[in-house]
Amino acid sequence: MTRDAARRNGLTATVCFPKGNLAPEGAVIKSTAIDPSLIGEDGVYRHRGPARVFTTEEAAIAAIKSGAIGEGDVLALICGGPKGAGMQEIYQVTSALKALPHCKHVAVLTDARFSGVSTGACVGHISPEALAGGPLGKIVEGDVIELVIDRAKLTGSVDLVGDSAGSFDAAEGARRLAGRAPRADLAPHPDLPDDTRLWALLVEASGGVWGGCVYDAERIAARLAIR
């Protein structure tokens, strides 16, 4: 089926790639998986809510099961990228959220990846990852995060727009993130295998998660000062 034929039959693009002060090198969201009732008449999904930050999948799932994730929250699962957990697949988190009556009103941010069967507003592959100095590794509980996803134009943003002291715009959010130190609890998974750690280093040296799936051997060699 051609692109035009697909559109005539109501088929649309599945994903878009938001950026913002929390994802300066990009991210991905399966925008068609967002509950249709949350999409405005202009085809745009908007969500603004407080961050709930977790460094392990286990901690995030425990919070969901205990009822600690409220309507409107933004669940941020960090340390799940290549250097943290080998690009962890977080379907257990998105699946656990489905048990909440307000599931559709909870957004998810992660530097890990998500499953093709995941539903909801889940922004993954956020880059740089937390353990590579990404701003996602600087957010704290209660930070206000805004997601804007235009499903028609395939554009979007994910930004820090507030903290305990009040609201501000995305540009101010970028300045504040630049002035913050990384969280003290950032750490790779204790069982991360050595071969995965080496792969993660190659990914970072080659340009990061969004640097492409083909390694830049010359760039890596230059970083390692090897010829």
pLDDT surpasses 90 at 73: yes
Domain ranges of the chain: 12-187
Instruction: Note the pLDDT tens digit of each residue in 151-205.
Output: 888 899 999 999 999 999 999 999 999 999 999 999 998 888 888 888 888 778 7
Instruction: Note the pLDDT tens digit of each residue in 20-32.
Output: 999 999 999 999 8
Mean pLDDT for the chain overall:
90
DSSP 130-198: GGGT-GGGG--TT-EEEEEEETTTTEEEEEEEEETTEE--HHHHHHHHHHSPPPTT----TT--HHHHH
The CATH class given to the 12-187 domain equals alpha beta
Instruction: Note the pLDDT tens digit of each residue in 114-142.
Output: 887 788 899 999 999 999 999 999 999 99
Catalytic annotation, residues: 115
In the block, residue with structure tokens 């998986």: 33
In the block, residue with structure tokens 């507030």: 162
| Share of residues in the chain with pLDDT > 70 (%) | 93
Residue 128: cis peptide before it, omega within 30 degrees of 0? yes
pTM of this prediction?
A: 0.87
CB atoms within 10 A of CB 83: 25
| DSSP symbol at 100 | S
In the block, residue with structure tokens 């693009």: 13
Q: Mark 108-138 as b/e (b = at least 16 C-beta within 10 Å).
A: bbbbbbbeeebbbbbbbbbbbbbbbebbbbb
